[in-house]
Amino acid sequence: MNHTLLLCCLVFLWPTESCRTLCQAASKNKAKVSAKPHDVCDGVCVDNSHCSQPCPPNTLGNMGFLCRQKKWHKITDSCRTLTPLSIFEEKLGSAPSSADTTHIGTYSQKSETITDLLMQKCPKDLSCILANIQHSPRIPGNIAVIVQLLHNISTAVVTDVDEAKMQSYSTMANHILNSKSISNWTFIPEKNSSCVLLHSVNSFARKLLVHKHSIDISDVFIHTIGTTVSGEHSGKNLTFSMRVNDTSTEVAGRVLISRDELRKLPSASQVVSIAFPTLGAILEASLLGKVTVNGLVLSVILPKELKRILLTFEKISKLEESRTQCVGWHSLESRWDQQACQMIQENFQQAVCKCRPSKLFTSFSILMSPHSLKSPILIYITYIGLGISICSLILCLSIEALVWDRVTKTEISYLRHLCIANVAATLLMADVWFIVASFLSGPTTHHDGCVAATFFVHFFYLSVFFWMLAKALLILYGILIVFHTLPKSVLVASLFSVGYGCPLVIAVITVAATEPGKGYLRPEACWLNWDTTKALLAFVVPALTIVVVNLITVTVVIVKTRRATIGSSMFQEVRAIVRISKNIAILTPLLGLTWGFGIAIVINDRSLAFHILFSLLNAFQGFFILVFGTILDPKIREALKNRINSAKWISRISEQNLSTDYSCHPTKGPS
């Protein structure tokens, strides 16, 4: 091909235009030969192996790939067109030279020289680089360059940020906050880039000077409002309305400072607030978060005297079954923290949060948990089942009280009915406190009452499980230990120690360890916290452990029953199967084996069928205890029958005595 081009240039018999055409064709063919795909790797794809590929022409950097399931997947991308020199060029578009290959990931001294150059060329308004930045493609490497630049500007500018500088700074941030760039944040090698951006914007805005007139800088993806406040104001309200998800639908956010808070100000001060409609999704994408930001991200910079604000967030996704949390961004740990805010009011459209701004918490939003599952069916099953369960437990305890003397004549029967009565009593108290806790839950949570209700729900439900464990141990004691018996008083003391002592110790340690740091409760309900302190493990671990022990107990009972019928006739085999089935039916509710279905919910918490089955089996547990633990017991039925007959006989005797007294002493009629 090169020989052909040389011949074209030397031979004058060919027209000039033909030579130009041939040269262009040769260039295209040369490009075709040298071009190769940049979105895949050349190496052999072996699972968990890595590969690096250079960026396309006219860009610097490289792309990293990871092999999963015999296919390359891009995990990092540092491709960029912006360089320390091209940022200041009057016309962007030339290919970056090899001299510009600066490492972008770290905030190094080289990047500070870019800021120094910027402050020399346009220190007043920082506008000399806006055109190049706005026309640059929003590829991962360019995003990292701009984040680095914004970080260093916020560090270099110590004080006196006026409206012009803030406008330029917002324009640069707005370019990389564009909703079309969200997916590209995932590939930036430095996963904390979104956190650095949020911190940089807040830090720069903290130096903004607001004079007599308010500042309102509105871009599509960042909106800054600065104003002055004083104790004379009746309250201050800053309202934002911004588009999300590339639609015309706008989502509102509002910052409200109450009159009582403003009275704490000794003199006039300034308040700056910034709204971001896409930053929540960017934080989620870059940090690979499991929760979804469901409103604007609102940054609020206040005077140190102001400690409380009200924030109203309109929900982006208005699904009624979603669980909402008010949160603040922890600037040191780079995560959303529930301790910064408290839910005040919520409906399917918006949430109102009371938040505590500080140096650690400047930015706030609401989260929507993707794993929450709420259904009217579950609510109806739970409360109807609890109502039936409470009535059944009261009836069960009443029957036990009526026949107690007749069915507890032997030691083993006394201990058995002692366990059943305490299981029923603790489950009754647990259900009652569960209803109390449900009334105390919600946006307007009564904290102290909620703590008390959660403690008693935790304690009594643990007591239910430990009394079930005590009954299981009693069954094993009767089966395995035949010739060595303990005194009755020792057995009773042991049962009460297990049934009430262990739950009390666990419940007290849990509240003492987590409540001082406000990590005992869930923010949306009166129940043990999971997201921050994992206090719920103090219930789940003992409960599931006891379920496993009780399941082993049932297995031992089945084996013992089955072994007694080996070599028997077919009729005896059938009777043994019936007896085994009856034992399983009786022991399953009495030993709490239905709670084992909670494991299915842990494995697949989005399955409505598992939730309905779990709710049916456990909400009606009191009814099952009444049926299988009391009514189906032939000794209790016989004792109850005798008690009723005895009551009828006593009633008949009383009627006869009354009739005899009446006949012996007739009343006199009128004379």
Mean pLDDT (whole number) for 220-233: 91
Q: Identify the three-state secondary structure at position 215.
A: strand
Backbone angles phi, psi at 171, to 5 degrees: -65, -40
pLDDT(669) > 70: no
pLDDT computed for residue 503 by the predictor:
95
pLDDT computed for residue 97 by the predictor:
46
- Looking at mean pLDDT, say which of 71-85, 113-127, 312-326 comes out highest: 71-85
Lowest mean pLDDT among 44-53, 205-214, 257-266, 288-297: 288-297
Confidence of residue 47 (pLDDT cuts 50, 70, 90): confident
What distance in Å separates the CA atoms of residue 41 and residue 382, rounded to the nearest whole number? 55
| Helix locations, 497-625, DSSP H | 502-514, 537-563, 570-590, 598-603, 608-619, 621-624
Is residue 467 within 8 Å of 368, Cβ to Cβ? no
First to last CA, the chain: 151
What distance in Å separates the CA atoms of residue 119 and residue 538, rounded to the nearest whole number? 57
Q: Which of 422, 505, 405, 492 is nearest to 464 (CA)?
A: 422
DSSP letter string, 387-420: HHHHHHHHHHHHHHHHHHHHH-SSHHHHHHHHHH
Q: Which of 188, 245, 186, 195 is nearest to 220 (CA)?
A: 245
Is residue 279 within 8 Å of 173, Cβ to Cβ? no
What distance in Å separates the CA atoms of residue 52 and residue 43, rounded to the nearest whole number? 9
pLDDT(26) > 70: no
What distance in Å separates the CA atoms of residue 434 and residue 453, rounded to the nearest whole number? 8
What distance in Å separates the CA atoms of residue 224 and residue 215, rounded to the nearest whole number? 8
**Neighbour count for residue 390 (Cβ, 10 Å):** 18
How much is the mean pLDDT over the chain? 79
Q: Identify the three-state secondary structure at position 21.
A: helix
374 vs 222 pLDDT, higher one: 222
pLDDT computed for residue 288 by the predictor:
61
Region label for 152, one of left (φ > 0), alpha (ψ between -120 and 50) or beta (otherwise): alpha
Mean pLDDT (whole number) for 77-96: 71
What distance in Å separates the CA atoms of residue 615 and residue 601, rounded to the nearest whole number? 11
pLDDT computed for residue 664 by the predictor:
54
Q: CA geometry: angle at 389 spanning 384 and 390, to 5°?
A: 105
Q: What percent of the chain has pLDDT over 90?
A: 30
pLDDT computed for residue 77 by the predictor:
92
SS3 percent helix, strand, coil of the chain, rounded to 5, is 55, 15, 30
pLDDT(306) > 80: yes
Q: Which of 297, 126, 152 is nearest to 221 (CA)?
A: 297
Indicate the helix (H) or strand (E) that contains 463: helix 447-480
What distance in Å separates the CA atoms of residue 536 and residue 521, rounded to the nearest whole number? 9
State pLDDT tens for residues 198-216.
Answer: 999 999 999 999 988 899 9
Mean pLDDT (whole number) for 634-661: 74
pLDDT(568) > 80: no
> Which residue bears the tokens 């009755």?
488
Report which DSSP code applies to 322.
-
Q: What percent of the chain has pLDDT over 70?
A: 75
Mean pLDDT (whole number) for 236-256: 85
498 vs 548 pLDDT, higher one: 498
Mean pLDDT (whole number) for 592-602: 60
pLDDT(472) > 80: yes
pLDDT computed for residue 112 by the predictor:
47
pLDDT computed for residue 99 by the predictor:
42
The sign one gets for the Cα dihedral 412, 417, 423, 429 is negative
Lowest mean pLDDT among 71-80, 187-196, 440-449, 481-490: 440-449
Lowest mean pLDDT among 132-141, 153-162, 165-174, 659-668: 659-668
453 vs 561 pLDDT, higher one: 453
Q: What Cα–Cα distance (Å) separates residue 540 from each residue in 328, 389, 401?
A: 28, 22, 32
Mean pLDDT (whole number) for 213-231: 92
Confidence of residue 93 (pLDDT cuts 50, 70, 90): very low
Is residue 341 within 8 Å of 356, Cβ to Cβ? yes
Q: Which of 133, 119, 125 is nearest to 161 (CA)?
A: 125
pLDDT(29) > 70: no
97 contact partners, CB below 8 Å, separation of at least 6: 83, 85
pLDDT(140) > 90: yes
Q: Identify the three-state secondary structure at position 668.
A: coil
Q: Determine the number of helices (DSSP H) and then strands (DSSP E) in the chain.
A: 21, 16
Q: Provide the residue count of the chain.
A: 671
| Helix locations, 125-235, DSSP H | 130-134, 140-156, 163-176, 182-185, 193-206
Confidence of residue 524 (pLDDT cuts 50, 70, 90): low
Q: Which of 287, 370, 291, 365 is nearest to 326 (CA)?
A: 365
Q: Which long-range contacts (CB under 8 A, 24 or more apart) does 110-114 make?
A: 110/84, 111/84, 111/148, 111/149, 111/152, 112/152, 112/156, 113/84, 114/84, 114/87, 114/149, 114/152
pLDDT computed for residue 295 by the predictor:
93
Strand arrangement of the beta sheet that strand 62-68 belongs to: 50-54, 62-68, 71-77
What distance in Å separates the CA atoms of residue 237 and residue 311, rounded to the nearest whole number? 10
Confidence of residue 313 (pLDDT cuts 50, 70, 90): very high
Backbone angles phi, psi at 328, to 5 degrees: -125, 150
pLDDT computed for residue 222 by the predictor:
95
pLDDT(105) > 50: no
Lowest mean pLDDT among 63-72, 406-415, 579-588: 579-588
Exposure of 246 in the CB half-sphere (CA atoms within 13 A): 5
Is residue 407 within 8 Å of 635, Cβ to Cβ? yes
pLDDT computed for residue 343 by the predictor:
86
What distance in Å separates the CA atoms of residue 432 and residue 301, rounded to the nearest whole number? 45
Is residue 215 within 8 Å of 162, Cβ to Cβ? no
State pLDDT tens for residues 145-167.
Answer: 999 999 989 988 877 889 999 99
Confidence of residue 35 (pLDDT cuts 50, 70, 90): very low
State pLDDT tens for residues 337-385.
Answer: 888 898 888 888 889 999 999 888 999 999 886 555 556 787 788 888 8
Q: What Cα–Cα distance (Å) separates residue 423 from each residue in 315, 418, 432, 462, 478?
A: 44, 9, 14, 11, 19
